[in-house]
Amino acid sequence: MTDRIGTLRDTFLRFGFDGVVVNPGASLRWLTGLAFHLMERPVLLYFGKTGKAHIILPELELAKLEGLEGELEIHPFGDDPATWQSVFAAALAFAQDGLRIGVEPTGLRFLELDLLQKALPTATFVDASPVFANLRMEKDEHELAKMRKAAVIAEAALLETLRTIRVGQTEKEIASELVIQLYRHGSDTELPFAPIVSSGSNSANPHASPSERRLHSGDVLLFDWGAGFEGYFSDITRCFFVDFVDERMIDAAETVQRSNHYAVAAVRPGMTTGEVDAIARQEIEESGFGNYFTHRTGHGLGMEAHEAPYIFSGNQLVLKKGMVFTIEPGIYLPGLGGIRIEDNVVVTEDGFNCLTTLPREVKTIERYLELMDFFGGLV
């Protein structure tokens, strides 16, 4: 905790901030190991240039701080919202006038911001996205080990789920079995997102929600899912044919597989994220499916399902060792179906490692399981 708070201070000072505030989410967990959920009661940490961090939180959450008293200045409040402003004011009374304070724009709510602005009326609150992106973007070996485990859990859960699938099941039924298997194989209770299970024409919607649609012969069946392990996530997509499918879907599947392969194989430190996107997109465009690849090639992964770095056209962010992100090209044919193949890739000293190991080929479920059994299951 002390080392990470020191890293945070070095980073926000380099970006010209006098301090930063953090509320419940991945950054707070990374910095302190403390897990809170967003609720009607505010929880907030203030990190200044020197000294201890200050935490403002409900009295009912104090037990979570056992063992951390020496690291934090603690400012608890009761259940009456009328008292909260005075606690914020007292907690931040040491702050000087005219401070430039960084916030996470996608995390800080109006509830906390309003209390902060009234407690520090001369302060300026500024988007500090670069500070927080830089903190967690390059994973160390301990973090990568947890992400590898999250991938193993997710892949094992999918294989068990595939063995239960029958024509006539609904997408919701298949998705519920997948969630059960994720927990049985050791996932954290917090998943990166609710699994996407989409079939037939529904799979042409990249972010479809499982529905009451029943699985039919001739469908594409798409899974986009992940597991959590000790606070770190995996995020994987695999597709399957249900018996024989339209030739256009076979062409799309082969194209997406090549696109995924070329983009993953190209990853190395020193290239930009935009270059990765261009490699994935070129294969799809040259195959005549360019208009049907409707999203970026990938996104960062770690304590959040979506975090920096983002893999999109023109992004000049340079890849560095320890960055982890998805590569997930897709082709979506309206009214027919969609194909997406997604892997989790980590940048190494001179190339890449793939944290995901399930075969990328799009086959029937039966054939896929036969091959997995023949080769002895997961690597």
| CB 226 within 8 Å of CB 234 | yes
Q: Sorting pLDDT into bands at 50, 70 and 90, what band is 133?
A: confident
Does residue 379 have a pLDDT over 60? no
Does residue 245 have a pLDDT over 90? no
The matching CATH number, chosen from 3.90.79.10, 3.90.230.10, 3.30.1370.160, 3.30.1490.100, for 141-374 is: 3.90.230.10
In eight-state DSSP terms, residue 83 is G
Whole-angstrom distance, CA of residue 62 vs CA of residue 117: 25
Mention every residue, 6+ apart, whose C-beta is less than 8 A from residue 199.
171, 213, 215, 216, 219, 220, 221, 222, 242
Q: Sorting pLDDT into bands at 50, 70 and 90, what band is 244?
A: confident
Mention every residue, 6+ apart, whose C-beta is less than 8 A from residue 178.
157, 158, 161, 195, 197, 223, 225
Q: Sorting pLDDT into bands at 50, 70 and 90, what band is 69?
A: low
| CB 136 within 8 Å of CB 144 | no
Structure tokens at 353: 């490692």
Q: Which fold has domain 2-136?
A: Creatine Amidinohydrolase; Chain A, domain 1 (3.40.350)
Q: Which amino acid is at 288?
A: G
**Where are the CATH 3.90.230.10 domain residues in the chain?**
141-374
Q: Which amino acid is at 335?
A: G
Q: How far is CA 8 from CA 20, 65, 109, in A?
A: 9, 20, 21
pTM here is 0.93
**Where are the CATH 3.40.350.10 domain residues in the chain?**
2-136
